């Protein structure tokens, strides 16, 4: 009798073990996601979406048609979502609806630029263009959503899809956070297409990857008069010239040479930008002081606005150490050992930093440059997206979400 009980226990345990192994082996792998993303069904679908978005660019908080397209595609996929979030933003949900929650983010706004690339799907809106790849970012996240929804029963938690407006004016992420886009979310991942990285490779680093960034606008007022009698004038041009020169000293004479800061006066009749990895608020204060004091020295008056046209400043984008390790390992499994490139910090700014400040976050760059070396940098009127990069982005999004959920559940089991 005891032997029979022992055999019954052994058989039951073996059966449970087989079921567990079978369940684990049936779960989708990163390489499987890449195969799916490269399939004509998914790839052609992403390309069609990306080209439609490219033809119809919309600026920050004006992405109504963009948002409508996203919601339509999510409806067709059977993905539940919240709308509106931050005016035009969309937040989708795939999985169990229960913890753990992990978010994937794509920005969706365009730039006030005239496209100079002549092709079949050129922007149809004069003075507006997708010159930073956000049309590609949306297409990649929708591609990930399509694959994740097909494998939703394998998900060990909930994937949150964040389609964010107004990245270019550094306002969308903050507003989405205020309206609850990160509710229950434990971690967030973002991807940006990059022309300086080869196709099929991705780059990132732990810690600060992008600088804190902001804008300033100064108005210097003097007294006009005739050029032949300058003693009767108060010349704001001289004051402005002194300001431009003095602002450069903030970097060359007030900053540790081992730190990175940039102060650029981009328009003499307008304003400029500020960028720093640390000491950003102090840099803002010094810019105000230099402008107002130099104006006073030259007998002029000056006013300084650090949020011109409502453009907010953003903190540095800091990648969480543990998320970076997970991301690096996943990319190597997906694309091979040579596919991951250790990035160098960049002085560009991204309002993804607001997400990564609120919860652990990770931001990476996805390569799209090929042997032609013909892909221009972002914010160029000649900017193009290499559509062959779209499957890589979709697969990375989907794989990272699945991997994070698995690791989170494994950690919970280990604790028990």
* Known binding residues for Mn(2+): 132, 134, 168, 192, 379
Query: Is residue 164 classed as helix, strand or coil in its secondary structure?
Result: strand
Q: What is the dihedral of CA 230, 234, 238, 244, to 10 degrees?
A: -170
How many C-beta atoms lie closer than 10 Å to residue 224's C-beta? 9
E strand segments, 309-403: 317-319, 340-342, 361-369
Cis before residue 269, ω within 30 degrees of 0? no
Report how far apart, in Å, the C-alpha atoms of 233 and of each of 225, 241, 291, 295 are. 5, 16, 20, 14
User: What does residue 203 show for φ and ψ, rounded to 5 degrees?
Assistant: -135, 140
For the annotated binding site, the residues are 132, 134, 168, 192, 379
**Rounded distance between C-alpha atoms, residue 213 and residue 317, angstroms:** 10
Q: Which helix (H) or strand (E) is 399 found in, with range?
A: helix 390-415
The contacts found for 406-413 with CB under 8 angstroms, 24 or more apart, are 406/27, 406/156, 407/326, 408/100, 408/102, 408/156, 408/157, 408/186, 409/100, 409/156, 409/157
Tell me 111's DSSP state.
Answer: B
Beta-strand ranges (E) seen in 230-358 are 261-265, 271-276, 301-305, 317-319, 340-342
């Amino acid at each position: 009798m005891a032997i029979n009980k022992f055999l019954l226990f052994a058989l039951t345990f073996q059966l449970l073990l087989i079921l567990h192994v079978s369940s684990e082996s049936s779960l989708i792998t990163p390489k499987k996601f890449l195969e799916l993303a490269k399939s004509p069904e998914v790839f052609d679908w992403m390309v069609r979406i990306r080209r439609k978005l490219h033809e119809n660019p919309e600026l920050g908080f004006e992405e109504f048609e963009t948002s409508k397209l996203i919601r339509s595609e999510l409806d067709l996929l059977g993905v539940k979502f919240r709308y509106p979030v931050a005016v035009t933003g969309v937040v989708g949900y795939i999985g169990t609806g229960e913890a753990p929650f992990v978010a994937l983010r794509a920005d969706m706004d365009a730039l006030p630029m005239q496209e100079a690339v002549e092709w079949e799907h050129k922007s149809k809106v004069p003075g507006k263009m997708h010159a930073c790849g956000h049309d590609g970012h949306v297409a990649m996240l929708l591609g990930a959503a399509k694959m994740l929804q097909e494998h939703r029963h394998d998900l060990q938690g909930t994937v949150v899809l964040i389609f964010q407006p107004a990245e270019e004016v550094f306002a969308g992420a903050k507003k989405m956070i205020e309206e609850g886009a990160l509710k229950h979310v434990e971690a967030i991942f973002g991807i940006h297409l990059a022309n300086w990285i080869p196709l099929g490779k991705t780059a990132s680093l732990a810690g600060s990857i992008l600088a804190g960034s902001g804008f300033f606008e100064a108005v210097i007022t003097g007294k006009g008069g005739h050029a032949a009698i300058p003693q009767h004038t108060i010349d704001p041009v001289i004051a402005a010239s002194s300001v431009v020169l003095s602002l450069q000293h903030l970097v060359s004479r007030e900053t540790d040479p081992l730190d990175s800061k940039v102060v650029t006066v981009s328009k003499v009749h307008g304003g400029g930008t500020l960028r720093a990895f640390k000491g950003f608020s102090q840099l803002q204060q010094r810019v105000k002081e230099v402008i107002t004091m130099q104006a006073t020295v030259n007998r002029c008056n000056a006013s300084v606005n650090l949020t011109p046209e409502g453009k907010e400043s953003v903190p540095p984008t800091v990648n969480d150490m543990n998320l970076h390790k997970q991301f690096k390992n996943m990319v190597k499994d997906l694309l091979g050992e040579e596919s991951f490139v250790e990035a160098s910090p960049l002085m560009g700014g991204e309002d993804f930093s607001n997400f990564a400040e609120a919860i652990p976050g990770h931001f990476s760059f996805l390569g799209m440059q090929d042997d032609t070396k013909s892909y221009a940098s972002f914010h160029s009127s000649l900017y193009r997206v290499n559509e062959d990069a779209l499957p890589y982005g979709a697969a990375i999004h989907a794989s990272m979400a699945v991997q994070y959920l698995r690791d989170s559940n494994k950690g919970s089991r280990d604790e028990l």
